[in-house]
């Protein structure tokens, strides 16, 4: 199966787009992008040159993904969230080629209207609350909110808040998977 692009979408030459991916109204996929299989690119999305999206990435309406962004598989990007790619932008100073890299790890979710300041990676299955401004690296499974974003808890792979007992274990109420909190690091117990 090929990918689908709405007639109003623009897909520049030199892109690699996986099977089953859908690109909706007024979105622009710029040269040298890689979009994995079964991605969903909402309305009015800009994917800048050299951006890489894994498989099953969901990009909601009005999102800008700038050069330097890499999203691994199963990432969710909420409506109108934005990445930056230069730490000190000035209109009169050309900083092309000085873009900072930001990696969003597998399964992470970023809420509506959040801003990810470039150069700060988001850990696996981390959960960034709506409107948050991320100014530092976010660990795997962390739940962060606010401006600047600060950690208020931990989340399961199914998106439920984890409540750790005195032994440092927690169970996801939906999946029943167990997690361990040790030295401020969460890992899933197999």
pTM of the model: 0.96
Domain boundaries of the chain, sorted by first residue: 1-88+97-155, 162-190
**CA 26, CA 39: separation in Å to the nearest integer?**
16
Distance (Å) of CA 188 to CA 144, 154, 179, 181: 19, 12, 4, 9
The encoded tokens of residue 66 equal 């700038």
The pLDDT of residue 97 is 82
**CA 29, CA 32: separation in Å to the nearest integer?**
9
Q: Which CATH superfamily is domain 1-88+97-155 in?
A: Hexapeptide repeat proteins (2.160.10.10)
* Count of C-beta atoms within a 10 Å radius of residue 63: 23
Strands (E), 74-132: 76-77, 82-83, 102-104, 109-110, 115-116, 127-128
What is the mean pLDDT for each group of 10 consecutive residues in the chain (190 residues)?
94 97 98 98 97 98 96 98 92 90 98 97 98 98 98 98 98 98 96
């Amino acid at each position: 199966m090929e990918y689908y692009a709405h007639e109003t979408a623009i897909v520049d030459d030199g892109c690699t787009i996986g099977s089953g991916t859908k690109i909706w109204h007024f979105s622009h996929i710029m040269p040298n992008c890689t979009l994995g299989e079964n991605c969903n690119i909402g309305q009015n999305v800009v994917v800048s040159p050299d951006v890489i999206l894994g498989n099953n990435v969901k990009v909601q309406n009005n999102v800008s993904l700038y050069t330097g962004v890499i999203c691994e598989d199963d990432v969710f990007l909420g409506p109108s969230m934005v990445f930056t790619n230069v730490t000190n932008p000035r209109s009169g100073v050309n900083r092309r080629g000085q873009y900072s890299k930001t990696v969003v790890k597998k399964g992470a979710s970023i809420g509506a209207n959040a801003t990810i300041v470039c150069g700060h990676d988001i850990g696996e299955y981390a959960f960034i609350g709506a409107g948050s401004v991320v100014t530092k690296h976010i660990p795997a499974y962390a739940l962060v909110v606010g401006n600047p974003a600060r950690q208020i808890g931990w989340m399961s792979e199914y998106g439920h808040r984890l409540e750790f007992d005195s032994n440092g274990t927690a169970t996801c109420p939906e999946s029943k998977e167990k997690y361990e909190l040790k030295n401020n690091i969460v890992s899933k117990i197999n």
